[in-house]
Amino acid sequence: MAKGLDRDRERKSKVLFFGKDLARRSKSSCELCEVKNEKLEIYEVPPVVEEPDFERCMLICEHCRKILNNLNKAGENDLRFLNSAVWSEVPIVKAVAIYGLRKIKDKYSWAEETLETVYIEEEVEALLDKIEI
């Protein structure tokens, strides 16, 4: 049992090590909704792999984390940040935004319209195939 706890602590430590680089990349704002001056946390895009991967992490606010965890229950206006996040130059951020838009496109016409205007690079498409939020 202690070995599992030690592995978990070591993994969490590795993820936290990404914090400074994520803060630089995001300019200390939420990578999805771009809010500043709020507490940000590291979000590993599911499925979480055994070895932490910087390229599958984002720095997001608590509001966006709650929305990602309940996409189907979020209100229309709560999801509007996806319109701008889909244009991110960070592949995982763009992939998460596209994933979210695909989940809600049948519910909200603006999501389908946004998806029709987005070019999806191969790297982003490969990430989309792996996301399980």
**Distance between CA atoms of 49 and 51, rounded to whole angstroms?**
6
Helix (H, G, I), strand (E, B) or coil at 44: strand
Residue 33 C-beta-side C-alpha neighbours within 13 Å? 20
pTM for this predicted structure: 0.90
Percent of the chain with pLDDT over 90: 74
How many angstroms from the chain centroid is the CA of residue 29? 13
Determine contact, residues 44/15, Cβ cutoff 8 Å: yes
pLDDT at 2: 67
Angle at 95 between CA 62 and CA 98, to 5 degrees: 90
> For residue 30, is pLDDT > 60?
yes
Work out the mean pLDDT of the chain and round it to a whole number: 92
Total number of residues shown for the chain: 133
